[in-house]
Structure 1
Amino acid sequence: MHNSLTFGHLLDDAGLLALEHQLHLEEVLGNHSWHADLQQPLFGFTGDRTITCTGFHLLGTAAPDLGTWLWAWANPSDFPDAVVAAAKGLRDFGHQHGIPELVSPEVPFAALPGSPTQPHLVAGLMTDAAKAVTGIWTSYQGDAGGGTRAAFLVQHPDFQLPSPEPARVMRVIQQGLVGLTLRDRRRALHSYATRRGLGADVGRDQGRLSGPGLEAVIDFDELGRVSGIKATLAQP
């Protein structure tokens, strides 16, 4: 079955919420190192805190020498089913919705939005798209040797976001709408607001968000770029 959902739509849907989760992950982990045993399977962090993930999923690897992303289900290393289940689910979703980036075993860097050349940027695109489909919102990238980046979705109760806090929400909106490479900022804003349980009314020229201690107005120009952000914040 084919419909109008595209890889770019998934990136817009994930953008702001993925950003907030990564900011939260940095705060939770602090200074850290990571370790994984894909055969056990086991994934964890040591450093300022010691955390053993309650779940993790290898999505794939971005190799600079080949200039391609290789999905975990296509990797000849024959990883355990539990480790690649999310990647296989993304492949099935790609077949259902006609999204070639999720279906092709190897995806050239140049075939992705913006034609990124750096493995960490490619891994970031793939993990963001995966988040929008799986609902697992925290990711981690690790050095797999030779400049290759391995991308994971990781799970632990401490990785879950707290209730929306006005100043944090506005930081995410400002940083995300201006700094992220989004194709449709209106879609990205609406997706974030609804997933965060905020009130949202997003039109062509303006978006209005509301929540505990927060009232915000985001103005868009004729090209869909942010032309202004106004917010009233209070402690909820």
Structure 2
Amino acid sequence: MHNSLTFTDLLDDAALLSLEHQVHLEEVLGGHSWQVDLQQPRFDFACVTRTITCTAFHLLGSAAPGPGTWLWAWANPSGFPEAVVAASARLRDFGLQYGIQELASAEVPFSALPGAPTEAHLAAGLLTEAAKAVTGRWTSYNGDAGGGTRAAFLVEHPDFRLPPPEPARVMRVIQQALAGLRLTDHRRALHSYAVKRGLGADFSGEQGRITGPGFEAVVEFDGYGRVAGIKAGLSAPHGG
């Protein structure tokens, strides 16, 4: 990471891998309720057939619709345990190091975020995405904290880890991201996903090439650096 790193860069870096983790989380949880005790600390998901107790969780902050601001957990006057807010403090330090005010400021107006969201869950989602790119923890949960306020967490459990990459799933993630996510730099977002997912990534020329077990995808970019088309196909495994 370099000194010209921006908040928008972090969003692109996180976008696709975060999407895949959130889809996987939905598959694991199904219908559920959740409960958190910040003092104990403990975070549980009560699913249809079992309860999943997170092996670790991290409170990032909360988005309140009244003032229209996000408050980082490290700056919350409620005085949460250090273990619960340590990740948010790390993000503050990272923001100070790279001059990213969205991470360094205790309180962030919704209007200062990309797209100027007006809804709390959307604002919380943006800060959470950036947090993932910095912390390397990819599964999040955005819950109702009462009064319209949304609390954002990073949650950890072995069942939340992704399975090995598989051709159809990888292409589905790419297509869903291109159709539904706000990506600023398509090349950066796709390259970041491929590298972080353990796939082959060659974006040195005008095209981008992503390779993995049994598949290859060639990405064409237009004059604005946006994806103009993708040609994907199955390939024979090495040694097959």
Q: Give the TM-score of the pair, scaled to structure 2.
A: 0.95
Whole-Å Cα distance in 2 between the matches of residues 214 and 153 of structure 1? 31
Aligned partner of residue 117 in structure 1, secondary structure: coil
Kindly indicate whether residue 113 of structure 2 is the aligned counterpart of residue 107 of structure 1: no
Q: Which residue matches 2:68?
A: 67
Structure 1: where are the runs of 5+ without partners?
A: none
Whole-Å Cα distance in 2 between the matches of residues 179 and 7 of structure 1? 19
In the TM superposition, 1:132-143 aligns within 5 A as: 132-143=133-144
Moved more, 59-68 or 224-233: 224-233
What is the percentage of aligned positions where both structures have the same residue? 74
- 1:204 shift after superposition: 6.3
In the TM superposition, 1:1-236 aligns within 5 A as: 3-48=3-48, 49-203=50-204, 205-233=206-234
Describe the superposition over 1:66-116 as per-residue Cα deviations: whole angstroms up to 9, x where unpaired. Answer: 110000011111000000000000001111111111011100001011111
Does the 8 Å CA contact 2:216/2:235 hold for their aligned counterparts?
Answer: no
Aligned partner of residue 144 in structure 1, secondary structure: strand
Whole-Å Cα distance in 2 between the matches of residues 152 and 235 of structure 1? 41
Whole-Å Cα distance in 1 between the matches of residues 121 and 192 of structure 2? 24
Whole-Å Cα distance in 1 between the matches of residues 52 and 41 of structure 2? 15
Whole-Å Cα distance in 2 between the matches of residues 124 and 13 of structure 1? 14
Identify if the C-alpha distance between structure 1 residues 235 and 114 changes in structure 2 by more than 3 Å, giving closer, same or farther. Answer: farther
Whole-Å Cα distance in 2 between the matches of residues 223 and 119 of structure 1? 31
Structure 2: where are the runs of 5+ without partners?
A: none
Does the 8 Å CA contact 1:22/1:139 hold for their aligned counterparts?
Answer: yes
Whole-Å Cα distance in 2 between the matches of residues 34 and 146 of structure 1? 17
- 1:58 shift after superposition: 0.3
Moved more, 171-180 or 87-96: 171-180
Report the count of equivalent residues.
235
Aligned partner of residue 228 in structure 2, secondary structure: strand
Whole-Å Cα distance in 2 between the matches of residues 235 and 62 of structure 1? 48
